[in-house]
Amino acid sequence: MSIKKQFLKSKPICKVTFKVTKEQANNASTISLLGDFNHWDEESGAMKALKDGSFTISIDLETGREHHFRYLADSQIWMNDAEADKFVPSGYGDAENSVIVL
């Protein structure tokens, strides 16, 4: 998995590209990026499947704050991003959310 941040000079926004490799996707047919920025809505976070078997999505996020997120593969398997800036308890069992700090 990878996270690429591109800060905009003209606005308090960062364009963030999230990517899940083919190996990390583990034959998933769909992967969604869910987080506080899209109200944990699976449909609005649907990632684009690439020809090489990986998945990607780019979104604009507000700077000066932390954003919690996770990936959801095939509507049932939750995954964290090892490249997240930090991890915090999700409040659901012993699961953690990935956090990106902007």
- pLDDT number for residue 15: 97
The rounded distance, in Å, linking the Cα atoms of 71 and 8 is 25
Each residue of 54-96: pLDDT tens digit? 999 999 999 999 999 999 999 999 999 999 999 999 988 889 9
- pLDDT number for residue 71: 97
- pLDDT number for residue 14: 97
- pLDDT number for residue 97: 97
Q: State the residue for tokens 């926004």.
A: 13
SS3 38: helix
The rounded distance, in Å, linking the Cα atoms of 47 and 3 is 14
For residue 26, pLDDT beyond 90: yes
pTM of structure? 0.94
Q: Nearest-CA neighbor of 30 among 101, 79, 69?
A: 79
Domains (range + CATH), the chain: 2-101 (2.60.40.10)
